[in-house]
Amino acid sequence: MHIESRVEKLREYMESEDLEAVILMNPENQYYFTNFYAITYSRPIIAVVERNATHLIVPQLEEMHAKEEAKVNDIRTYYETPGKVGDAIILLKKLLEGSKRIGVEKRFLPICLAESLGKDIIFHGIDSLVENMRMIKDDEELSLIVKAAKLADRGVKKSIEYARENVSELEIDNAGNFEILSQASKNYPEMRNSLFSMSPSGSNRTAIPHVFSTGRKIKKGDMIIHSRQVSLNGYRAECERTFFLGPLKKYQEELLEIVTEAQKKAIEKIREGIRASEVDRIAREIIEEAGYGSYFPHRTGHGLGLSVHEPPYLRYDSTTILREGMVITVEPGIYIPKMGGFRHSDTIIVKKYGAEVITRTPKDLGYLVR
Amino acid sequence: MHIESRVEKLREYMESEDLEAVILMNPENQYYFTNFYAITYSRPIIAVVERNATHLIVPQLEEMHAKEEAKVNDIRTYYETPGKVGDAIILLKKLLEGSKRIGVEKRFLPICLAESLGKDIIFHGIDSLVENMRMIKDDEELSLIVKAAKLADRGVKKSIEYARENVSELEIDNAGNFEILSQASKNYPEMRNSLFSMSPSGSNRTAIPHVFSTGRKIKKGDMIIHSRQVSLNGYRAECERTFFLGPLKKYQEELLEIVTEAQKKAIEKIREGIRASEVDRIAREIIEEAGYGSYFPHRTGHGLGLSVHEPPYLRYDSTTILREGMVITVEPGIYIPKMGGFRHSDTIIVKKYGAEVITRTPKDLGYLVR
């Protein structure tokens, strides 16, 4: 889907809800509707969609960048130098003068901004609309995600193969980083990319599902959950593998087998028309039947795209029905204090008649036990 | 300053403003007041400070992590599994039942959360209080920032020394990443760290102050602005160097000399008691006098600590007076379309009688021309 048709869809909604303008503050949504993505922090960037024009408010140091990349009708600049407008909010208020009903991301818009626009304005949430639009990926988005998945695979493989006694979690991450950045440089030289990884190791640290890598050195008998996301032009894929610096203990093998089976069975069920909650139920039942239900403390998976996590969520109480073009992870896990954590994650494109698994790092023990 | 005294200071303010509770949603502020920092994304984490207790609301998969690290009186958990409370907001509403005046980060609290707490609540902004507290770093914070600065230096040096013809921007970044993660593993094995870098190259890309690195390969005669931030346990330092794959052109040498001189003179002025705006004025005057005032589109520097950018800002209209223990960058720049960008950045601790420059990568041309 092109930027233009996305904006058009947003405008149809604006018309139906009688909104005069939409403010976009979330950088991912800004990118989705304007093609502009900046390195963001203390200087606000604001996108505004009106019925007949699109605008971007940027600090001066992003002006040239925005002119090159943003697909908007109008760029307005604020300055950090004397004698010029120095505040994004002043520009925004001027732009929205007279508007009474404004669409906003209610999960993102800070109340200071709402307050500074005035008490008379009615803020209408557009969160669900945008989430629903972003859930179904078009061909261009899918193509980026498939490429990102290939990079993630390469990185995960490199990290696993690099692991040996006395190598630290950070060094395991770094081996994969190196591979991914080299490959991305070679194959996608024009694209923006980003990396995230973590490699908790040992039976204490892997038992906590999400922790940052540290300099802890891995030891014989350790398990490691290596987790990796890669993005290309903002679009993300994820691959996670639990692997072992042998020898493998019996209980480790058993627990890994359970989560691997739960993941496999959940993936087999995926296709257009199945409920997200049903995918969670299948994985959860397998883990419960094995007696570890209380050690599976999270949903079975999540959508991904421009966000690290985004709808649909494979959660027991989700009402979402999976549709072709959705991209999700499937990653049931078992975490037992002092015994360790076990989880593989793969990225999947929902198809009409099944799941296309786009991360392909091996899961057989011959590969995962180093 | 210990967590306890930070909370105490917050409570003094709560008392003076008659606030019954404070909600902290910003992960950096949560860490500052509770010592808990999670990998955050789709699952909300909420910290609440009351007059007589501190609370943390976490998803189940962060429960053990929170128990290990959070210095709070009370941890409340929401679940992603059937039959239990599944929503952080339900827990928050219950916790705040009866409270009428609540302190919040107005620049961060999303309006959906404010709305779901009810119309009768008065939200009082605590942004300035927390910003002012965080601006002055204690010895423990400074010690982390100094360590991060040393890592940043090592990374920048490695990146500069790695640069040669046909090496890409991403590969330049990666050389520094590798060095930093290896060093951090060795010297600070228990600490959480994070990296950010960018290396725009060539006269077109460096003319845009902030762009993501790509696979663009550097060529003879290119300038490169290598920008690097490193954090240790959340605390950040920054070092940036403009360097060249020789031979150096005359105008490049002249422009680099101007920004280097502006930076030097601005740093010389820094000490307790000087206005932040005065530091900006000094750097800006030097660049203006050289005839390039309109090519310096940003403030002279920014504070840093837990945030990439945070107060104080060295901006012409700042009213902040610099105090001992503040940490700032000084980084005047010149950016001319098609001719390139020029900027060095160093991290500085404000002292009673001067500036302590804690990033020390060389700035002489003998080093910066490769």
Q: Is the pLDDT reported for residue A121 higher than 90? A: yes
Residues A164 and A235 in one domain: yes
- Residue A157 confidence (pLDDT): 98
Model confidence pLDDT, tens digit, residues B318-357: 999 999 999 999 999 999 999 999 999 999 999 999 999 9
Residues B208 and B351 in one domain: yes
Chain-chain contact of B299 with A80 (C-beta, under 8 angstroms): yes
- Tally the domains of chain B: 2
Residues A126 and A141 in one domain: no
- Residue A41 confidence (pLDDT): 76
- The CATH number assigned to the domain holding A40 equals 3.40.350.10
Residues A119 and A168 in one domain: no
Domain boundary among B133, B160, B193: B133
Buried b (16+ CB within 10 A) or exposed e, A195-230: bbbbbbbbbbbbbbbbbbbbbbbbeeebbbbbbbbb
Chain-chain contact of B110 with A112 (C-beta, under 8 angstroms): no
Q: Is the pLDDT reported for residue B1 higher than 70? A: no
Tell me the percentage of chain A whose pLDDT exceeds 70: 100
How confident is the prediction for chain A on average, in pLDDT? 96
Cα→Cα distances A153→A176, A236, A250, B295, Å: 9, 12, 27, 44
- Residue B332 confidence (pLDDT): 98
End-to-end distance of chain B based on CA atoms, in angstroms? 44
Distance, CA of B324 to CA of B309 (rounded, Å):
18
Residues B153 and B120 in one domain: no
Q: Which of B26, B81, B317 to mutate to test the interface with A (most CBs of A within 10 A)?
A: B81
- Residue B11 confidence (pLDDT): 98
Residues B43 and B144 in one domain: no
Cβ neighbours of B127 in A, within 8 Å: 112
Cβ neighbours of B38 in A, within 8 Å: 210
Question: Two tokens at B78?
Answer: 């929401």
- Residue B39 confidence (pLDDT): 83
Short-list B224, B228, B93, CA closest to B174: B228
Chain-chain contact of A107 with B104 (C-beta, under 8 angstroms): no
Cβ neighbours of B75 in A, within 8 Å: none
Model confidence pLDDT, tens digit, residues A163-196: 999 999 999 999 999 999 999 999 999 999 999 9
pLDDT range class, residue A2, cuts 50, 70, 90: confident
Residues A167 and A123 in one domain: no
The DSSP line for A172-212 is HHHHHHHHHHHHHHHH-TT--EEEEEE--BHHHHTTSSS--
Q: Is the pLDDT reported for residue A150 higher than 80? A: yes
Residues B46 and B160 in one domain: no
- In this prediction the ipTM stands at 0.94
- Residue B41 confidence (pLDDT): 76
Region B33-39: mean pLDDT is 94
The DSSP line for A210-242 is S----SPBP-TT-EEEEEEEEEETTEEEEEEEE
Region B238-257: mean pLDDT is 96
Q: Residue B110 is nearest to which of A38, A108, A187, comparing CB atoms?
A: A108
pLDDT range class, residue B119, cuts 50, 70, 90: confident
Check: CB of residue A309 under 8 Å from CB of residue B42.
yes
- Residue B44 confidence (pLDDT): 94
Q: Is the pLDDT reported for residue A351 higher than 70? A: yes
How confident is the prediction for chain B on average, in pLDDT? 96
- The CATH number assigned to the domain holding B151 equals 3.90.230.10
Residue A173 is which amino acid? Answer: D
Residues A143 and A73 in one domain: no
Cα→Cα distances B32→A212, A240, B2, B14, Å: 18, 31, 9, 17
Q: Is the pLDDT reported for residue B189 higher than 90? A: yes
Tell me the percentage of chain B whose pLDDT exceeds 90: 97
> Among the listed ranges B134-138, B189-193, B356-360, which one has the minimum average pLDDT value?
B189-193
pLDDT range class, residue B2, cuts 50, 70, 90: confident
Buried b (16+ CB within 10 A) or exposed e, B147-170: bbbbbbbbbbbbbbebbeeebbbb
CA distance B55 to chain A (A): 20
Reported as half-sphere exposure (CB side, CA atoms, 13 A), residue A223 has a value of 27
Strand partners, A326: none
Domain boundary among A76, A108, A134: A134
Distance, CA of B142 to CA of B145 (rounded, Å):
5
Domain boundary among A134, A164, A181: A134
Give the pTM. Answer: 0.96
Phi and psi (nearest 5°) for A9?
-65, -40
Structural domain containing residue B265:
136-368
Is the bond preceding residue A27 a cis peptide, omega within 30 degrees?
A: no
Counting Cβ atoms within 10 Å, is residue B294 exposed (0-12), middle (13-18) or buried (19+)?
A: exposed
Q: Residue A82 is nearest to which of B168, B211, B316, comparing CB atoms?
A: B316
End-to-end distance of chain A based on CA atoms, in angstroms? 44
Distance, CA of B35 to CA of B56 (rounded, Å):
11
Residues B80 and B153 in one domain: no
Cβ neighbours of B208 in A, within 8 Å: 64-65, 68
Residues B122 and B193 in one domain: no
Residues B143 and B161 in one domain: yes
